[in-house]
Amino acid sequence: MTERFTVLVMAAGRGTRMRSSMPKVLHPICGKPMVRWVIDAARAAGAAEVVCVTRPGDGVAEGLPEGVTVAEQREGEGTGAAALAARQATGTTGAVVVLSGDHPLISVELIAELIATHREHGAAGTILTTEELDPAGYGRIVRGAGGAVDRIVETKYTEGLSQVELAIREVNLGTYVFEAGALWEALDAVGEEHGERYLTGVFPLLRGSGKQVVSHLTRDISSAIGVNDRVGLMDAERLAQRRLLEHHARGGVSFLAPESVRVEADVQIGQDTAVGPGVTLRGATRVGEGCTLGPAATITDSTLGGHVTVTHSFLVQAVVEDRVSLGPFAYLRPGAHIGEAARIGTFVEVKNSEIGAGAKVPHLSYLGDTDVGEGANVAAGNITANYDGFAKHRTTIGKGAKTGVNASYVAPVTVGEGAYIAAGSVITKDVPDGALGISRPDQKNVEGYAERAERKRG
């Protein structure tokens, strides 16, 4: 496509059938608000400019990507009023592609096909239609004697509609291309119905003034689907998820049990990564190449290097370098940074901590606000006491240190490089490099105790 076109996204509807305090177009599909799906498609299709119609104070404008022009719908109800609100921002020359914020899965290909049809016919208005959806509630395409589009009949209110009109299966998908000048001229002359100005009212007027109105029929239900309630939202979610998984699969990612996996829209996954059952990848998560994820992992806003293994684990805002092994049952919290080839094992929680390359924390530990040096070995059940009731303090465990089981560290405290910590110690003072830190009562053995105890009972 070489000629420029502007995209107008209508996103100021009330969406009452969602039964929600949040505007319909902000409801997420695979973690991304519906309106952003539409804007991303518009941009990928080559829009020179994107104008989005929002309602003042509804919060939609605040979440839009940079560079989108916001046009506020301050007066009037209905899609016609929405389009008019964008008149100034859109201008009066060239082609305008109108997209509905509640058809989130509109594809780049379909936008391109629609524009091609519009240009082929030299049309003033081109309508995207389908026969593949349940037509209830959609506007139906009424054709004249010669087969040309005559008008669109709304079916949200069915009183007064004829059986012939209600039997029409071809519906309007709320996606159009117009010549800007012709659109505004016709829209000025459209009146109100049921308290709304219908954008669809322009088609008979365009035809009446001798201009071409054409349609483009699609069978691609997954791009066509509209969302008017939360049942529609579920359907769109399922189709969007499948589309995303197929995109990753084409990029070299394996999904062992795709039905059980959830990957949000902005997630990136490297080639040769295998995603097992029960894996959820959320937000801005980036996964490197050759990783093995799952069974069961929930990873949010985290960055994983290559060849990382994650089993039955939960990660939030963590950074994990190459060849790390996590889990089963590891919990990485914000600020956890796990160095190359380190191992975080079973029932280990790490928060705001640097774990050095090759270090091991294999079992039952809590490391908060801690720096663990390269190659250190933190034994089972090590706990950092990072909070004194008022402030957080750091613990340092030096390079190559080896700690014993069930040790705790009352921060701020430092264990030197290559130092040892005796099992069961409560470390409150710094341990020098290469020293043994031990703090526990000496063991006392009471000889002959068992015999005396039994005699007493006897």
Catalytic residues: 363
Among 7, 18, 31, 102, binds ligand UD1 (CB under 6 A): 102
Long-range contacts formed by 364-368: CB under 8 A, 24+ apart? 367/395, 368/392
* Span near ligand UD1 by CB under 6 A; candidates 44-52, 193-201, 276-284, 371-379: 193-201
Among 8, 29, 31, 101, binds ligand UD1 (CB under 6 A): 101
Among 77, 113, 322, 371, binds ligand UD1 (CB under 6 A): 77
With respect to ligand UD1, which residue has the nearer C-beta, 173 or 344?
Answer: 173
Q: Is the CB of residue 5 less than 8 Å from the CB of residue 47?
A: yes
| Rounded Cα–Cα distance for residues 114 and 123 (Å) | 11
The kind and range of the H/E element at 237 are helix 230-250
156 in contact with ligand UD1 (CB under 6 A): yes
Instruction: Dihedral sign for Cα 369, 375, 376, 382, please.
Output: positive
* Span near ligand UD1 by CB under 6 A; candidates 63-71, 172-180, 346-354, 377-385: 172-180
| Rounded Cα–Cα distance for residues 89 and 70 (Å) | 8
* Residues in a beta bridge with 431: 415
Closest CA to 423 of 402, 442, 404: 404
* Span near ligand UD1 by CB under 6 A; candidates 100-108, 251-259, 267-275, 436-444: 100-108
Closest CA to 75 of 189, 157, 192: 192
Phi/psi of residue 24, nearest 5 degrees: -55, -45
126 in contact with ligand UD1 (CB under 6 A): no
Binding track, positions 229-258, relative to ligand UD1; x by CB under 6 A? ------------------------------
| Rounded Cα–Cα distance for residues 432 and 192 (Å) | 83
| Rounded Cα–Cα distance for residues 27 and 30 (Å) | 10
CA distances 406 to 360, 382, 422, Å, are: 15, 5, 9
Tell me the closest approach of the beta carbon of residue 410 to ligand UD1, in angstroms.
Answer: 57
Closest CA to 78 of 200, 237, 181: 200
11 in contact with ligand UD1 (CB under 6 A): yes
| Rounded Cα–Cα distance for residues 227 and 65 (Å) | 21
With respect to ligand UD1, which residue has the nearer C-beta, 53 or 265?
Answer: 53
171 in contact with ligand UD1 (CB under 6 A): yes
154 in contact with ligand UD1 (CB under 6 A): yes
User: Which of Mg ion, ligand UD1, none sits in contact with 154, Cβ below 5 to 8 A by type?
Assistant: ligand UD1
Q: Is the CB of residue 35 less than 8 Å from the CB of residue 52?
A: yes
Among 26, 39, 50, 82, binds ligand UD1 (CB under 6 A): 82
Q: Which two structure tokens, joined as six digits, stand for 104?
A: 């989130």
Binding track, positions 24-63, relative to ligand UD1; x by CB under 6 A? -x---------------------------x----------
* Residues in a beta bridge with 140: 153, 171
> Which residues inside 170-229 make contact with Mg ion, applying CB under 5 A?
228
The residue of the chain with the least Cβ separation from Mg ion equals 102
102 in contact with Mg ion (CB under 5 A): yes
Q: By the criterion CB under 6 A, which residues form the site for ligand UD1?
A: 10-13, 25, 53, 73, 77-79, 81-82, 100-102, 138-139, 152, 154, 156, 171-174, 198-200, 226, 228
Applying CB under 5 A, the residues found at the interface with Mg ion are 102, 228
